[in-house]
Structure 1
Amino acid sequence: SSLPGDLVEDILSRVSAIPLVRLRETSKQWNAKLKSGSFAKMHAAHAPKEESLMITLINHKVCLVKINLHAPSVKVAPHALYL
């Protein structure tokens, strides 16, 4: 690649985690970069700071769940949808 290594690392640190798994197979250089501790710290710094929303099944009810990994907590929305 003609891009400087720091620029590639900065760009990759802004990509969400799921596509990064696929990018590890792109090249040995990218695989090594994605496995490095410095990249993990940079990726965590660019991670969203707000809560993530998930839909899950709890006791046969579809629930909206808010997950915050920065201040570990899980909150289930008060109204469940029944199947």
Structure 2
Amino acid sequence: MAEKKLEDRFIENVSRYPLYVISVMVGGLWVLVKPLAELYKKSRFAAIAVTLGGILAFLFVTLTLRAMMGETWLPSGLAS
């Protein structure tokens, strides 16, 4: 069996990275979602509180970044 050229091995190796990145992203998402799924099974109140807290945190970060960039969500008559 003939040994592959260095260029062929390089391209073969690099072509595996997109699958690796997708696997890492899905695994990270699973690690984040699994405890929340178990929380939903345990206590409805705690699950609702965590979900609402996550939404509020996302909104806070979004509005803060928009304000830092000079954008506003207010109508132009109200924004000064």
Report the TM range for the smaller structure's normalisation: under 0.3
Larger radius of gyration: 2
Higher fraction of strand: 1
Normalising by structure 2, report the TM-score: 0.25
Higher fraction of helix: 2
RCO (CA 8 Å, sep 6+): is it higher in 1 or 2? 1
Normalising by structure 1, report the TM-score: 0.24
